[in-house]
Structure 1
């Protein structure tokens, strides 16, 4: 036998002896001793016992290391609470769908010349349904006389049947008419409005109208400035240039966060060619008028120009007549404008004549009293005027044309004092009588806050902006003050 074989045989013998001893120990542990205790331990561990204990401990550590979370999973499963389920009653699906639906209103804005019947017909709603609504509506006459821009709303079923109709009775009330079978139910919804006083200030860029509209001023307010407030002192066709500025104190009516109306103009300052013109609204004898800061009425006996947005094409003085070709005195001024442009009376007057007047063509002559008279020539047609009829300042008396000795559509305007022709662009009328006494004191007390607001806003805005903006940058700005002045 080789040495290796002898070594292997010795190891096998040792293992057999160890197995025999283990068998003997197991039998000793299993056999009952001393009355059936089932286990006997003499209190001493052999070397083999410690080896077995170490082996089992190592195996246990390996199991725990190879299966992380095993003990946690076992612990969690031990303490996991029991789950309980039970049924809850749910509403029918159709009810849930009905509750989630929103009313589908379709808005319609009334256009010029449109009637309520035409609007209903366009939406496929029978005339009988319209008559049912009109019979039930308390504002039948208001509905049959709709104004352009009025907003209506319709709620219709999938088959086109009208379910409800809505309209605004006024600024603060909205009426909703619901149809159910043969019945019409009315619901009035209150819509409170808020009146704010705003100061709007800006510089003229491309045009006054463009800049003012960009600020949010309505066309009505702009026309008030040009055609009523400053028409006596400023010629908006010739005197206004880019860089001139304007500031307006105006009342604004707001509803549900929307601006619905502007006006009237409470105060305004317009600076043209470096010269400021101030206007303040004040009621005298129950009628609103505009005055200067000193309390002098802005309204004069004559307006600067009897035609709006026209170009001065010929001045007062000696010139060569464009038709006759002779040099002669031009006793008035000419305003070139499109045919049909309205012509206004320069002041309160009585009609002297209205009709054909030789080389003047269709002509109107007015007598303003105290020796003052005006003539308007080359009209395409005159208004319906009679001799001796009274006309008010700004009233339309005819329309631009090219009748008589004329080479193109324009207005020839003459101004006379005691029969003598005067230059209407240079002649100044005596200033009207200013306010005095109690009326003046009331005027100053009432209008001072408006002027202070304009002054504060202009100091803020124009202290930092360039003196003359470009046409593409009008440098407009808005400052609102005193929000929530009134509620209704």
Structure 2
């Protein structure tokens, strides 16, 4: 086997010696400053290493800076010229004034004056903070007390108090002896269609209301359902409130979680007001439509009915309609109706409803039209809402994190609260029960009969309104 030759070492560099047994022995160097003090203690070599270490420590201690405490207090300037320079640069002690800027000497171009002239007019832009008072806001910015109080009184009389975040355009006059200034001009946008102007004169303050023209053409939003209806609505330009209103509107006619498919097309029309300078204010949802690939289309119009705004289908029929209860929350069923081992009490117990696995804060809607008969804390059920329906049916929604519907009449698909884990619960979910004449029944097998409150004249108005909104 071939091996690469090792590098040659000059014989003169390392002399070779042999011991008594003929074993090759490498000689130790005669003198080495580096000594291991743990080897051969108290030998000559050990004492030499200790002396070397002591000398090195002594040398370092001579070269090291002093370890005394730093001087405390403010150093005193050496001489009047240095004191003037420190004061001019604002590095002197506060107790000595520490004024910035040197005093200019009198000369042909610079002469001392007794007092500086005040600006005769001052313009400001103020933003109203939450909880701020107009009089205090004006007073903090140099307005004289009488003008600040009078301006606040004029605004209250016009019922046009500036909302938080409103920008005030303010121009003040020359200051009086106390340094306070009168109001010459105060202007701000009180509403989208109203601008308030306060002018000052020798006779006092006067107020002027300027009505602004608005374009009230509703806004039409259309799009296609992709991975989820809510995010498709948001991507098309609907606000979170508008998207929630749309889901609530169509939720009264179909199960959004299972009956709305990718490829279906949605359409909604919302009230909107737009000013000449481009500011917009969105209103409520007026129309909700859905073109379905796997079922009948929806066309809903919001009209006043029974003392409140309600959604009426363009194709509504006055005949009774049989339908099942609406699924109250989007989520899978994690525990069905019947006997089961209780997850906390650990014994077999009748499960009087159905559990839906949903995340914390998921919206819960009413399964059908009805009257809220209970809304609050109910022992192990936590926060609970109970709704009475026709035919002796009652639906119950438990373990909620927050309750929205605390009383009154609710429509099918209307928001009543949010999923939580209150009461005797192991995690966020909705416990949903249905009672028939006080006896729990399986919610998945309940069928209801609803009778839409519509007539021919109302349906004619609904169809005309739907046609007009779709034609925008």
Q: Normalising by the residue count of structure 1, what TM-score does the alignment of the two structures yield?
A: 0.55
- Distance change (3 Å), C-alpha of 1:381 and 1:436: closer
Q: Given the alignment of the two structures, is residue 351 of structure 1 paired with residue 373 of structure 2, yes or no?
A: yes
Residue of structure 2 in register with 1:443 after alignment: 462
- Distance change (3 Å), C-alpha of 1:189 and 1:426: farther
TM-fit CA distance, 1:194: 1.4
Residue of structure 2 in register with 1:203 after alignment: 224
Q: Given the alignment of the two structures, is residue 392 of structure 1 paired with residue 409 of structure 2, yes or no?
A: yes
Give the secondary structure class of the aligned counterpart of 1:136: helix
User: Structure 2: how far apart are the matches of 1:421 and 1:173?
Assistant: 57
Correspondence 1:65-464 to 2 at 5 A:
106=125, 108=127, 113=131, 115-116=133-134, 120=138, 128-137=146-155, 139=157, 141-143=159-161, 147=163, 151-156=166-171, 163-180=184-201, 183-205=204-226, 207-227=228-248, 229-236=249-256, 240=260, 243-256=263-276, 258=278, 260-271=280-291, 274-275=294-295, 276-284=297-305, 287-296=308-317, 304=326, 311-312=331-332, 314-318=334-338, 320-325=341-346, 330-336=351-357, 347-349=369-371, 351=373, 355-357=377-379, 359-361=380-382, 363-379=384-400, 391-393=408-410, 401-424=420-443, 427-433=446-452, 435-451=454-470, 453=471
TM-fit CA distance, 1:371: 1.0
Provide, for residues 113-172 of structure 1, a one-character-per-residue CA deviation record: whole Å limited to 9, x for no partner. Answer: 5554565477565665431202333645441xx5556x3322245999554322334443
Give the secondary structure class of the aligned counterpart of 2:242: helix
User: Between Structure 1 and Structure 2, how many residues are aligned?
Assistant: 339
- Distance change (3 Å), C-alpha of 1:420 and 1:405: same
CA contact (8 A) 2:312 2:462 kept: no
CA contact (8 A) 1:334 1:413 kept: yes
Provide, for residues 345-400 of structure 1, a one-character-per-residue CA deviation record: whole Å limited to 9, x for no partner. Answer: 6543363685444x434545444453111223335687997xxxx63327987775
Residue of structure 2 in register with 1:83 after alignment: none
Provide, for residues 50-92 of structure 1, a one-character-per-residue CA deviation record: whole Å limited to 9, x for no partner. Answer: xxxxxxxxxxxxxxxxxxxxxxxxxxxxxxxxxxxxxxxxxxx
User: Structure 2: how far apart are the matches of 1:306 and 1:450?
Assistant: 30
TM-fit CA distance, 1:343: 6.3
- Distance change (3 Å), C-alpha of 1:243 and 1:106: farther
Q: Normalising by the residue count of structure 2, what TM-score does the alignment of the two structures yield?
A: 0.57
RMSD: 4.5
Further displaced range: 231-240 or 366-375: 231-240
CA contact (8 A) 2:193 2:211 kept: yes
User: Structure 2: how far apart are the matches of 1:299 and 1:221?
Assistant: 28
TM-fit CA distance, 1:416: 1.8
Provide, for residues 330-357 of structure 1, a one-character-per-residue CA deviation record: whole Å limited to 9, x for no partner. Answer: 4323345676778676543363685444
TM-fit CA distance, 1:191: 1.0
TM-fit CA distance, 1:301: 11
Give the secondary structure class of the aligned counterpart of 2:251: coil
CA contact (8 A) 2:325 2:448 kept: no
- Distance change (3 Å), C-alpha of 1:292 and 1:397: closer
Q: Which structure 1 residue ranges, 5 or more long, are not aligned?
A: 1-102, 454-480, 482-488
Give the secondary structure class of the aligned counterpart of 2:459: helix
- Distance change (3 Å), C-alpha of 1:343 and 1:121: farther
Structure number with higher helix proportion: 1
CA contact (8 A) 2:370 2:389 kept: yes
Tell which structure's C-alpha radius of gyration is larger: 1
TM-fit CA distance, 1:268: 2.0
- Distance change (3 Å), C-alpha of 1:244 and 1:329: farther
Give the secondary structure class of the aligned counterpart of 1:392: strand
User: Structure 2: how far apart are the matches of 1:233 and 1:384?
Assistant: 20
CA contact (8 A) 1:332 1:413 kept: yes
